Amino acid sequence: MRPRNVIIFICGLGMIAIIENSSFDQMSQRHAQMVAARNAQEQEQANVHAQQEQREAAAQKAAQDAAEAHARFVAQYSDTDFVRKTGVKTIAVVAASENGTWNNALNAALVSRFKNEPVQLASSFFKPAFVSDGLFNDAFAGSSDLFNRLELQKSLDELLLAREKVQYSSDPSLDNVLTASMQLDIETLPIGSQAGSQTWTFTASGAGFKQADARQQAEERLIKQILADTNMALH
């Protein structure tokens, strides 16, 4: 073979090698790109799945936290172990003093007044915090939202609420003897029914040289009126 032909042959082989190497490099690059794209897609899917799991876990925790908070709220203000009698109207009784505290004397008077009626009277269904935290006032206003939050319909048919109001005055002509003018508003509120509510009002006054003495006398007179009353009835 002539030298010139040898050179041409060698150059041809070199060109072929360059072309093959170029094709191989392109194929390798395309393969690497495909692998990278597949890996990126798989990673994206994994991220989406992880985010979905995180959202579901967060939603589940939020729901659990809300349920626990609700249970604490109900237990804070009511007796969660209370058992109602089957087939008998169940009524929770709550009496509040003018200073926003539980009034045991009035509570007991109301229970005594209605003890002969065919109902179940729950005088300790609510806890003192129900009054001191202001929920009593919301209940007295007929707050259906509060009734729902406390799940009252599960345990009660009705509320029997009593709220005192007191005003004091003094008379200089009587050695500044204090007079306590007391008003007691009583209301029944149905739970989860369209039955109407009932209201009654009692008033009494008491006198004394101290507010506490005048107040006590007025409240004692109110209690006597409640026990002697013949008009109130729990329908």
Q: Residue 41: its pLDDT value, please?
A: 82
Is residue 53 included in any domain, yes or no?
no
pLDDT digits (tens, 9 = 90+) for 168-202: 999 877 778 999 999 999 999 999 876 788 999 99
Q: Residue 202, SS3? A: strand
Is 26 within a domain?
no
Identify the CATH number of the domain in which residue 210 sits.
3.40.50
Cα atoms in the 13 Å half-sphere on the side-chain side of 72? 6
* First-to-last C-alpha distance (Å) of the chain: 127
Confidence band, pLDDT 50/70/90 cuts, at residue 107: very high
Q: Supply the range of the domain harboring residue 95.
A: 78-228
Distance CA 222, CA 220 (A): 5
pLDDT tens digits, residue range 111-128? 999 999 999 999 999 999
Q: State the pLDDT at residue 47.
A: 81
Query: How much is the average pLDDT of 92-100?
Result: 96
The Cα 192–Cα 180 span in angstroms is 38
Task: Determine, yes or no, domain membership for 46.
Answer: no
CB atoms inside a 10 Å sphere around CB 182: 22
pLDDT of 230 > 80? The answer is yes
State residue 19's pLDDT score: 61
DSSP string covering the chain: --HHHHHHHHHHHHHHHHHHHHHHHHHHHHHHHHHHHHHHHHHHHHHHHHHHHHHHHHHHHHHHHHHHHHHHHHHHHB-TT--PPTTSEEEEEEEE-TTS-B-HHHHHHHHHHTTTSSEEEETTSB-THHHHTTHHHHHHTT-HHHHHHTTGGGT-SEEEEEEEEEEEEEEGGGTTEEEEEEEEEEEEEESSS-PPPEEEEEEEEEEESSHHHHHHHHHHHHHHHHHH--S----
Measured at the CA of 154, the angle between CA 157 and CA 105, to 5 degrees, comes to 55
Please report whether residue 48 resides in a domain: no
**Residues 27-82 pLDDT 10s:** 777 777 787 778 878 787 878 777 887 887 777 887 788 888 889 999 999 999 99
Given a cut of 70, whether residue 13 has pLDDT beyond it is no
Report the number of distinct structural domains present in the chain: 1
Q: Model pTM?
A: 0.75
The pLDDT value given to residue 62: 78
> Is 185 among the domain residues?
yes
Average pLDDT over residues 82-96: 94
Q: How far is CA 234 from CA 24, 113, 155, in A?
A: 96, 11, 18
Strand partners, 84: none
Cα 231 to Cα 100: distance, rounded to the nearest angstrom: 27
The pLDDT of residue 175? 78
Instruction: Report yes or no on 16 lying in a domain.
Output: no
pLDDT given at position 67: 85
Has residue 102 been placed in a domain?
Answer: yes
The answer as to whether 175 is a domain residue is yes
Q: Which residue has the higher pLDDT, 12 or 138?
A: 138
Lowest mean pLDDT among 54-58, 114-118, 132-136, 154-158: 54-58
φ, ψ of residue 187 to 5 degrees: the values are -145, 140
